[in-house]
Amino acid sequence: MKRYSFILTACMVVLLSCQHPSSNKPQTTAASDTSVSSAAFDSIHYAKGFKVERHDGWCLLEVSDPQDARKTKDTYRFALVSKSDADVPSGLPRIQVPVRNVICTTTLQLSGFLKLHALDHISGIMSAKRLFSPELKQRIEEGKIVKVGKEGNFDTELILASQPSAILVSLSKRGGFDKLEDLGFPLIPYMGYQETSPLAQAEWIKFVGLLTGQESASDSIFHRIEQSYLSARDSLKAFVQSTQADQSQASSDPASARPPFVLYGKLHGDNWYAMGGGSFISQICSDAGAFYFMAIDSRSGGINLDFEYVYSMASDVDFWVVQNKDREPLTYSSLAEEDARYADFRPWKERRIICCDMSQTPINELSPMEPDTILLDFIHAIHPGYLKDYHPKYYQILQH
């Protein structure tokens, strides 16, 4: 039972691991006590971070932290106005939709616009680093989309010149947003990155559809994503159950029917950086028929682990997931050169490292809207007898 003994010590890691760093919130103009007449909210099936309430000529958009179940933190409210004469309660920031000039302050915010082919609604982004979309690159080259700088060092002249209808901000970023608000443009928190369910993150395409006037298209795209994801998950379950039944008949070892164990992350400095058990990656592993090594940790964000803890279980895990952010492709040799102890890991020895070369794929700009593809990538890597003709897009077994 050595292979699973690390579960007994995982609770200690939960207590000892670093907590999420505190972040500064932008001071939006949306008041938490704004009253609106009661109406039925739209049916949002997975996402917990936004709600929509329909009214004549406008709709109420509520945005909050999806991980704040009791809603103890701020709720940001905006009136998305489709008719100029709409009767909107005072105190609500009015945003005319469809919006024409949106500034995105993180790459992940681009995903919904890319899926909806709605780049003409974007006038500014923070950085063009690691972008893959040819259309996006062309628009930047032509000056249709400008680079407005990073948080704390925004180019206010460029922002003013672009006259944005709204600026999408990430509440996890630190500083600089007070400067943006001083310019008088509405700041809308984009909280999709805080959703812990892969389908919840993807459902934020409906949020983008609201802003761009493409609600029907966003509903259709999300429905296809949802069906693809659930089909992959459920089909795998049937395959795994059938395989486990065959294995249990052929072997007296109960461990043969256990799910593969997946390690995630890499050393950063003196600590091993991973994601908590409430994260997107943990859910993907579960739906791919595997057990994520920090599954019992309830946190959804990044956590720092003691390397000795990770090293103690490295001979027991089946797969190791690594995101390579370097320009040079990752190899087994380069990993061992980076830290000789990596060569002691079972996945290193058995060539079972699942790698995403981030400089070679559009994962930064599309992953929130392609959870079905990521799930299929994981299934293909973890269950080599399944999806034999599938060609992975983001994650695949490292070959060399």
- pLDDT (tens digit, 9 = 90+) per residue, 117-147? 999 999 999 877 778 999 999 999 999 999 9
Structural domain contains residue 345: yes
* pLDDT band at 22; cut points 50, 70, 90: very low
Q: Using CA atoms, how far apart are residues 367 and 380, in angstroms rounded to an integer?
A: 17
Structural domain contains residue 386: yes
Give yes or no for residue 39 having a pLDDT over 70.
no
Which CATH number do you get for residue 370?
3.40.50.1980
pLDDT for 4 equals: 45
pLDDT for 8 equals: 37
Share of the chain above pLDDT 70, in %: 84
Structural domain contains residue 215: no
What's the pTM? Answer: 0.87
Give yes or no for residue 379 having a pLDDT over 90.
yes
DSSP state of 216: H
Structural domain contains residue 107: no
Structural domain contains residue 51: no
Structural domain contains residue 268: yes
* pLDDT band at 23; cut points 50, 70, 90: very low
Structural domain contains residue 115: no
C-alpha separations of 274 from 53, 126, 322, 342, 378 in Å: 37, 26, 10, 16, 17
Sheet of 94-96, strand order: 50-55, 58-63, 76-81, 94-96
Do the Cβ atoms of 198 and 136 come closer than 8 Å?
no
pLDDT for 247 equals: 59
Give yes or no for residue 33 having a pLDDT over 60.
no
Which candidate, 360, 341, 284, 353, places its Cα nearest to that of 317?
Answer: 353
* pLDDT band at 25; cut points 50, 70, 90: very low
pLDDT for 334 equals: 95
pLDDT for 26 equals: 40
Structural domain contains residue 126: no
For the record, the structure tokens of 340 come out as 């000789």
pLDDT for 248 equals: 54
The pLDDT of 137-166, averaged and rounded, is: 89
Structural domain harbouring 277: 2-18+223-397
C-alpha separations of 278 from 42, 194, 216, 318, 331 in Å: 26, 11, 31, 21, 29
Count how many domains the chain has.
1
